[in-house]
Amino acid sequence: MKQKGTTILAIETSCDDTGIAIIKTSGKKKPCFDILSNIVSSQVKIHQKYGGVYPTLAKREHQKNLVTVLKEALKKAGVLRKSKCLGLRLTSRRLEKLKEILKREECLLKELEKFFKKYQKPKIDAIAVTVGPGLEPCLWVGVNFAKTLSYYWQLPIIPVNHIEAHILANLLPQISENPKSQQIKFPAIALVVSGGHTQLVLMKKFGNYKIIGETRDDAAGECFDKTARILGLGYPGGPAIAAEAAKIKVQSSKLKVKLPRPMIYTKDYDFSFSGLKTAVLYAVKKKHGKAPLRSAFSRTTEGRQYIKQMCVEIQQAIIDVLIKKTIKAVKNYKAKSIILGGGVIANKELRRQFKLKIKNLKLKINFLIPPKNLCTDNAAMVGIAGYFRWRNGKIDNWEKIKAEANLRIR
């Protein structure tokens, strides 16, 4: 492996964001990272009407978007070069191989063929790709796309775990709101909270992880998304609920609506959020007779006030449980760092209350939290996780790589 100037092309398609990034790393003992490009094409508008991600639609969109996003990422990174002999023909052997890899992604194959004819192999050293966990059809598009690039450009491929990528997003440049705390001191407790996962992970060193707790049913992001739907708010639910909640300043104790804090006092580190969703559903039905809340009631002054109060309480219930269990893990494992990651960590109140809690408890601990745009899915975080995997010799032959929807971090 080159010690200086290693450039990684990273691909992320585990859910509804099509992401490609080019990151450059230098130095080995204390690696430095430079994000040359980090393009994310969001499918939010497409999934909005379903109130959640529709996997087959997401797969189709990834197929449509990947080559465009690739071109944009290479161009922004300054490594997109037109081929010297335009109209270059692919040899039939190579074309057959591409067809074989992309036999389920025909429209992607057509786009890629055009791309390979028009552009040269870029100056990159390896390809990192999210192989799991995530939505299986979506993961496969990214994996097959990475395989094609790896085969065609003769580059090594690095399989990346999406949860590890969320954790290591904290090491990307200028990421910490407190630049002094960018280093991870071990042992560390990582809380990863997204639309698909809520996990507490003990990290003893790079590449050494143990899940100590996780949700037994819905993920916290899923709870935001589903309760937002019950309240007749948009998708994704997290930002929609946060925006409603921010419209009123009221102490939780003074709210008229009250929700449970599921599993907050249990001895383990597990979570459960489906009961919270059900509690919201029952409360709305009791108040209004039916759900979702889309009728004239939601436009009355009383209705609007009710929605805002409910949003404050949903957000607070989730925050209370997440903070309580994380701090318990930090104390019991004598952790030296707290690392946060995943889409829900973009929540402003959660960020504020976490910092406040650490301050009030006078915890001497490194607190790592990514900027909001690196909390939600992106490929730069896949690139950095890929780098650490590569450093540990976790490279694979493109023929061996496969998507694993239920991949666990270890």
Structure-block tokens of residue 53: 């991600």
Contact 167, 201 (CB under 8 A): yes
Residue 344 contact, options ligand KG4, Zn ion, none, Cβ 5-8 Å cut-off depending on partner type: ligand KG4
DSSP string, 289-347: SSSS--SGGGGSHHHHHHHHHHHHHHHHHHHHHHHHHHHHHHHHTT-SEEEEESGGGG-
Q: Which is nearer to Zn ion, 199 or 326 (CB)?
A: 199
Among the listed residues 3, 21, 8, 142, the one whose alpha carbon sits nearest the alpha carbon of residue 76: 21
Residue 237 contact, options Zn ion, ligand KG4, none, Cβ 5-8 Å cut-off depending on partner type: ligand KG4
Alpha helices in 25-183 (DSSP H): 44-47, 55-76, 92-101, 106-118, 136-153, 162-168
State the minimum distance, in angstroms, from the CB of residue 343 to ligand KG4.
2
Q: Is 377 in the site for Zn ion (CB under 5 A)?
A: yes
Residue 403 contact, options Zn ion, ligand KG4, none, Cβ 5-8 Å cut-off depending on partner type: none
Structure-block tokens of residue 287: 């108040």
Q: Is 199 in the site for Zn ion (CB under 5 A)?
A: no
Residue 133 contact, options ligand KG4, Zn ion, none, Cβ 5-8 Å cut-off depending on partner type: none
- Binder of Zn ion out of 194, 272, 366, 378 (CB under 5 A): 194
Q: Which residue has the tokens 């745009």?
A: 373
At 378 the three-state DSSP class reads coil
C-beta atoms surrounding 153 within 10 Å: 14
User: What is the C-alpha to C-alpha distance for residues 14 and 397, in angstroms, rounded to an integer?
Assistant: 21
State the minimum distance, in angstroms, from the CB of residue 128 to Zn ion.
15
Burial of 203 (0-12, 13-18, 19+ CB in 10 A): buried
Query: Starting from the edge strand earliest in sequence, which strands make up the sheet with 337-341, in order?
Result: 208-214, 198-205, 188-193, 337-341, 366-368
Residue 122 contact, options ligand KG4, Zn ion, none, Cβ 5-8 Å cut-off depending on partner type: none
Residues of the shown chain interacting with ligand KG4 in the complex, contacts defined by CB under 6 A: 15, 194-196, 221, 224-225, 236-239, 242, 342-344, 346-347, 376-377
Contact 64, 57 (CB under 8 A): no
Residue 386 contact, options Zn ion, ligand KG4, none, Cβ 5-8 Å cut-off depending on partner type: none
Residue 224 contact, options Zn ion, ligand KG4, none, Cβ 5-8 Å cut-off depending on partner type: ligand KG4
Q: Which residue has the tokens 């580059």?
A: 155
Alpha helices in 16-54 (DSSP H): 44-47
C-beta atoms surrounding 251 within 10 Å: 8
* CA distances, 250 to each of 99, 175, 185, 222, 300 (Å): 59, 31, 37, 25, 20
State the minimum distance, in angstroms, from the CB of residue 202 to Zn ion.
20
Q: Which is nearer to Zn ion, 161 or 194 (CB)?
A: 194
Q: Which is nearer to Zn ion, 6 or 194 (CB)?
A: 194
Contacts of 386 (CB under 8 A, 6+ apart): 8, 10, 126, 128, 129, 158, 160
State the minimum distance, in angstroms, from the CB of residue 12 to Zn ion.
8
State the minimum distance, in angstroms, from the CB of residue 318 to ligand KG4.
8
Q: Which is nearer to ligand KG4, 244 or 270 (CB)?
A: 244
Total binding residues toward Zn ion, as defined by CB under 5 A: 2
Q: Which is nearer to Zn ion, 139 or 323 (CB)?
A: 139
State the minimum distance, in angstroms, from the CB of residue 131 to ligand KG4.
14
Q: Which is nearer to Zn ion, 122 or 341 (CB)?
A: 341
Among the listed residues 312, 314, 287, the one whose alpha carbon sits nearest the alpha carbon of residue 298: 287
State the minimum distance, in angstroms, from the CB of residue 357 to Zn ion.
24
State the minimum distance, in angstroms, from the CB of residue 164 to Zn ion.
11
Q: Which is nearer to ligand KG4, 96 or 177 (CB)?
A: 177
Residue 313 contact, options ligand KG4, Zn ion, none, Cβ 5-8 Å cut-off depending on partner type: none
State the minimum distance, in angstroms, from the CB of residue 183 to ligand KG4.
23
Q: Which is nearer to ligand KG4, 213 or 237 (CB)?
A: 237
User: What is the C-alpha to C-alpha distance for residues 245 and 347, in angstroms, rounded to an integer?
Assistant: 11
Residue 242 contact, options ligand KG4, Zn ion, none, Cβ 5-8 Å cut-off depending on partner type: ligand KG4
Residues lying near Zn ion in the complex (CB under 5 A) are found at: 194, 377
